[in-house]
Structure 1
Amino acid sequence: MKPAFPPAIRATKVFRRVALTALAAALLAGVATPGVAAADSVAVPKAAAGPDRPELQQVIQEVVDSGYAGLQLRVHDQQGDWVGSAGVRKLGEVAKPPTNGRFWIGSSTKSFTATLVLQLVAEGKIGLDSPVAGYLPKLGLDRRITVRMMLQHTSGLFNYTGEYYNDGTFVPGIPATGKEWVDNRFHGYQPEELVRLALSKPAKFAPGTNWSYANTNYTLALLLIEKVTGRSYAEEMRRRILGPLGLRGTVVPGNRTELPGPYAHGYYRYQDADQWKVVDVTRQNLSLLAGAGDMISTTQDLQTYFSALQSGKLLPASLLAEMRKPDPRSTGLFGQYGLGQYVLDTGPDCAGIILNHDGSPPGGYGSLMYSTPDGSRTLTASLTMGDAAVDQSVVFPKALDKLIKAVFCGGQAGAADQANLVQ
């Protein structure tokens, strides 16, 4: 039995008007807003071409032409499976990105982490509305912060990659953008180190009184998983999700910096004094986003995982319903935030409610992960950044609009929905 959406979600459409513009900032600004589980020797299956879908190939070419180095897209719908790519695997070469390529998935990791925590809730090992401090007493957490608040970003915890306060003040955290990140992109961090850094800074608000996206919440979730299970986050991810679903192309990297092949190269454009520079950031250490944005995957594995999650294969119906209850104060990012995923209403002329969690590491890559509530229609993709000087706050919403309409709206939407999706 599939969980139904609360009436408030069905009725709420206001956030569609701003969702994609804010998504551009969250995804492509990377972390500034916002052990190994598989071996390199494991081959990633070569993607089958599937049915001929020239309209999808045209869309992904248009997206690449708007300013990206490459794009690989996987679609599953009533016509079957389709995979394709456009652009280049590496700047200066002509080969397209591999359609079975691995990539850094950034904050799409949060969905995996939330699912793992909720599996422990289902087993009675964690209470969804219990204080996190009860499980991790040595951190000195505010006892008002519950597991639900942690997963829904209502804890008020400082975002360790940098925090904007309501008065406009910005308090920096660990290096996560610009030249400072480029120079430090191979530095390794420990999860507890990141959480303690956040706890040394003022909270953004009292627990449960507001909403603010913070990577700290999901690194804290990693520590919670390890404390409760007595095993590493990577091992639990392998035992509970990666292994059972056969996700052989997915990696929890820890401190590793190599992206296992095959892969497309990602690039980062930054300002150094008065010069703009572009650097290949295919190699980077994402321990700075442990549990929050560090995983490596493929479009096939993301499709398998997200479809399995939405169709009820990973969680009982009651907890899947909890994931889909968004906090209305989260309006303006990917939709409204539930527990480890966004809830986006695309309107009656499209697919209605779709679930998603996109992501990006600090530089080079972006991931897209979308599904209908029954898991029957999915879009998963990887964008690679190039050397073009483009305004992502303008380009990305239009690119995502094209992809969503092509996959979930039959290639087009009504005039009102088109306006809402691209504003």
Structure 2
Amino acid sequence: MGATVTVLSLALAGPALAAVPADGADGAAGHAATRRAIEAAVADGVPGVTAGVRDAHGTWSATAGVGDTRTGAPRSAADRYRVGSITKTFVATVLLQLEAEGRVSLDDPVDTWLPGVVRGHGHDGRAITLRMLLNHTSGIYNYTADDDFGRTYFLKDGFFRHRYDTLTPRELVAIALRHRPDFAPGTSWNYSNTNYVLAGMVIERVTGRPYAEEIDRRIIRPLKLTGTSVPGTRVSLPRPSSRAYSKLAPTTAGPSYDVTRLNPSIASAAGEMISDSADLTRFYRALLRGDLLPARQLKEMKTTVEIDGVPNAGYGLGLMDRTLSCGVHVWGHDGGIHGSGSSAVTTADGRHALAVNFNGDWAGNMDAVIEGEFC
């Protein structure tokens, strides 16, 4: 669900393990900087890292650290993990496919599809378009920023009491609507998970099927993403997978906790999906190459707005563009949820893609891994 969750944490006791190239090759010299960045993340306190790359030379993968701090079992290149807000790119892709089919318009007011749902404390779904949901210019309050929600689901005492709660999309939206909007629709930018909960609800209203079914039918099955799923209320991770760890506190100090099992309905269409590095690189390569969207819709997706306070980056429709220190542009998304931080990016031509996951949510430099791979 993005940066709002990354205060959750865990510190790995014991020495860091060196990165192991999962393809068995000591080579792939072109990925040496990536390997060093992975090792550095583990040295910084991340329990374990798994990363995968697809480029003109084929595939490469590497792991570092541990997937289980109790047993010392290493991470695997085949690990499946919670991808958090990377879910947003899948959701946006489905809505853009529906636009290409003439079933919706990005300029439709939210109220057209969800009449009366976005009302209260100054929110008005008649003035907010689907485009504003997808590029975070709606002004709708971010439900995960609600203090009560944070205490209940992100801090230790609340998490262990409520980790298996089921929350409906309407309940998540209702939390947001207790607050005033961040700004008038279309006048600024602010990351809000509520936008994508609503986008998932729109998909269901348009198609008559849950957004999860549409992602499965339109993306997962056609691309043969065998490690990818939309879990709904399923609390476990499919195998192979590692444990996920968090501090469950607004600090990087103190004890860490195993948070692998949780009900991901608290993230809904904003961040509930599970995937692996091979699938994520396949998905983003296919997306940027135009395999999932017609040219017009892909252009819309790549039309960005400025991200306040983040230089050299822009946000499109569920897709982020960033310019790296070496001048390379990469497109993709980050994702954070309890005990899991991920990033998946690719060059604009889809020829070079990276996906990486940390199984702790309080330490490590994800940007350094991306810079290492592409610069």
| Range class of TM-score, shorter chain | 0.7 to 0.9
Q: CA deviation at 1:350?
A: 4.2
Inter-partner Cα distance in structure 1 for 2:309 and 2:298:
20
1:153 equivalent in alignment to 2:131:
no
Inter-partner Cα distance in structure 2 for 1:93 and 1:290:
32
Inter-partner Cα distance in structure 1 for 2:219 and 2:261:
26
Distance 1:253 1:320, change over 3 A: same
Inter-partner Cα distance in structure 1 for 2:79 and 2:312:
25
Q: CA deviation at 1:63?
A: 2.0
C-alpha deviations, 1:33-88, integer Å up to 9, x for none? xxxxxxxxxxxxxx755682261434322221121100001012233210111101
Q: Which residue of 1 aligns with 2:15?
A: none
Q: Which residue of 1 aligns with 2:372?
A: 406
C-alpha deviations, 1:321-348, integer Å up to 9, x for none? 111121125441892211101110125x
Q: Which residue of 1 aligns with 2:13?
A: none
8 Å Cα contact 2:4/2:145 also seen in 1: no
For residues 254-403 of structure 1, what are the structure 2 equivalents within 5 Å?
254-271=232-249, 276-332=254-310, 335-346=313-324, 349-351=326-328, 353-361=329-337, 363-385=338-360, 392=362, 396=364, 399-403=365-369
For residues 209-220 of structure 1, what are the structure 2 equivalents within 5 Å?
209-220=187-198
Q: Which residue of 2 aligns with 1:74?
A: 52
Distance 1:107 1:50, change over 3 A: farther
8 Å Cα contact 1:27/1:366 also seen in 2: no
8 Å Cα contact 2:5/2:154 also seen in 1: no
8 Å Cα contact 1:51/1:80 also seen in 2: no
Distance 1:25 1:119, change over 3 A: closer
TM-score with structure 2 setting the length: 0.87
Q: CA deviation at 1:182?
A: 3.9
Inter-partner Cα distance in structure 1 for 2:283 and 2:179:
35
Distance 1:131 1:74, change over 3 A: same
Inter-partner Cα distance in structure 2 for 1:156 and 1:334:
22
- Percent of aligned pairs with the same amino acid: 39
Inter-partner Cα distance in structure 1 for 2:5 and 2:292:
26
8 Å Cα contact 1:26/1:333 also seen in 2: no
Q: CA deviation at 1:177?
A: 2.0
Inter-partner Cα distance in structure 2 for 1:350 and 1:205:
33
- Number of residue-to-residue matches in the alignment: 350
Distance 1:345 1:283, change over 3 A: same
C-alpha deviations, 1:262-287, integer Å up to 9, x for none? 11111111359xx9332111111110
- Gaps in structure 1 of 5+ consecutive residues: 1-22, 31-46, 164-170, 387-391, 410-423
